Amino acid sequence: MVPRPSALFASAAVLLSTTAFAAPTRSSYQEPLEDGALQEPPVAKYPFKNDPYDRKHDTYGEGVQPLPIRNGHGTSVLGPVNLDRDRQNPDLVRPPSTDHGILPNLRWSFSDSHIRIEEGGWTRQTTVRELAASKEIAGVNMRLDAGVIRELHWHKEAEWAYVLDGKVRVTAFDTDGGSFMDDLEKGDLWYFPSGHPHSLQGLGENGTEFLLIFDSGDFSEDSTFLLNEWIEHTPKAVVAENFRLPPEMFENIHEKDKYIFQGSIPDSIDKEKPRAFKRSKHQYTHHMLDTPAQKGSGGQAKIVDSRNFPISKTIAAGHLDIEPGALREMHWHPNADEWSFFIRGRARVTIFAAEGNARTFDYMAGDVGVVPRNMGHFIENLSDDEPLEVLEIFRADEFQDFSLFQWMGETPQRLVKDHLFQHDPKSGEKFSKMVESAEKDVIKSQYYDGKEEGLEKGEL
């Protein structure tokens, strides 16, 4: 007997709820009926229906289903929903009351990118084709198993990379005939200027995974200049003449044999250096996590740009550790779009685009966010229990930002109070006292949690 579609749906729902997600797929506020549909939740019991201050809601971490209900407006959802997707994006389901206008999508997940699977590895990319706002930067997530090689190649774009895990060997060659070799681990960087040939190979037991950044949003992995392709598409007589060898030696070179492929296990760098090796004058790598940190009350930031990594002329970056409940302070960047990659944790970001336009997005590990230059924003750790780790990346030679707190503290207080507290002088005096130090606190610890107003979690 063929099972009814409703029975299949219910079976699938049970399977997914028990195996697929880290957070539960059932909600206290939307319970599946026997046929797999969702009954209308009891709106009166929805914990976030009233919140005049638009506080964060970690619905994914708490396993709560967000609803489009806010401060007396909206109602429940009767149609089909993607439960886990909604929990990951509570500020799209229930936007803060301060959101306004028609800002485009500024969020993408590598989980939604196509994966190219190769021998012993894979690659996937987020470019302007996946995320239209990603005009200045493209990102590639790549995995190489132990001994697996990313073929000798070069790009018209510059390449910056952050090692997410494992170990990797990089080689490079400069315009003066100098060579470079280095072994990198988690948290290390490399940068290859436009046109500089290089290679990558996974080391150790499990190889490596890394994030590649290119200084053009329309970059494509398919546009790479590959060694084997060049040889394949050059007359064999010319190749033979170039290397002073018989042309038949190159008959078995085929472009599709390479790109990402299993290679032999490398020896130490000292043993692998060729006889003609001449050390490059360029330092192509950098240990980002060893960089001195800018300490904040709620975390720290490590900045790497051309000032401490001189070869990195087109990419600047910050590595942020944001403690539970803490906030990357309200700020903006005047010299480039921000391209953020979320390594762990959960965050919300509201982007202010002028003309009264603002939109809030939620991010998780593996997500990419774009904030166009000069647009005001923050990064808030949604969780009160788990840390948040983020890379802020820019197509620029220097990391630059403006702190709203610092600006307010260094502006004449009469002027500030006339702007913000003209009709509330008592609050104006409190504000002036708070900002008088004008201290830039790059990551602020959690200060106000609503308890003074009796707005505990579940009572909003």
Is 198 marked as a binding-site residue? yes
Token pair, residue 90, equals 């509570």
Per-residue b/e over 439-459, b at no fewer than 16 CB within 10 Å?
A: ebbbbbeeeeeeeeeebebee
At residue 315, the 3 state secondary structure works out as coil
Euclidean distance between CA atoms 154 and 401, whole angstroms: 32
Contact 128, 218 (CB under 8 A): yes
Is 319 marked as a binding-site residue? no
Contact 357, 100 (CB under 8 A): yes
Is 338 marked as a binding-site residue? yes
Selection from 194, 142, 193 nearest residue 168 by Cα: 142
Selection from 212, 119, 120 nearest residue 163 by Cα: 212
Within 10 A of 219 (CB to CB), how many other CB atoms are there? 25
Planar angle of CA 56, 58, 62, nearest 5 degrees: 145
Q: DSSP strand E in 156-227: where?
A: 159-173, 179-184, 188-192, 198-214, 225-226
Contact 427, 435 (CB under 8 A): no
**Helical ranges in 157-283 per DSSP H:** 227-232, 236-243, 269-272
Contact 58, 383 (CB under 8 A): yes
**Helical ranges in 263-332 per DSSP H:** 269-272
Which residue bears the tokens 């700020």? 331
Q: Provide, for the chain, the percentages of residues in helix, strand and coil under a 3-state DSSP scheme, each rounded to the nearest 5.
A: 20, 35, 45
Pairing of strands 376-381, 327-332: antiparallel
Is 331 marked as a binding-site residue? yes
Crossing angle of helices 425-435 and 413-420, in 10° steps, is: 130
Is 254 marked as a binding-site residue? no
* Given the residues 392, 439, 456, 459, the one annotated as active site: 392
Contact 48, 54 (CB under 8 A): no
Contact 125, 179 (CB under 8 A): no
Specify whether 255 is catalytic.
no
Euclidean distance between CA atoms 378 and 330, whole angstroms: 5
Euclidean distance between CA atoms 16 and 33, whole angstroms: 16
Is 155 marked as a binding-site residue? yes
- Binding residues, as ranges, are 153, 155, 159, 198, 331, 333, 338, 377
Active site residues: 392
- Binding residues for Mn(2+), as ranges, are 153, 155, 159, 198, 331, 333, 338, 377
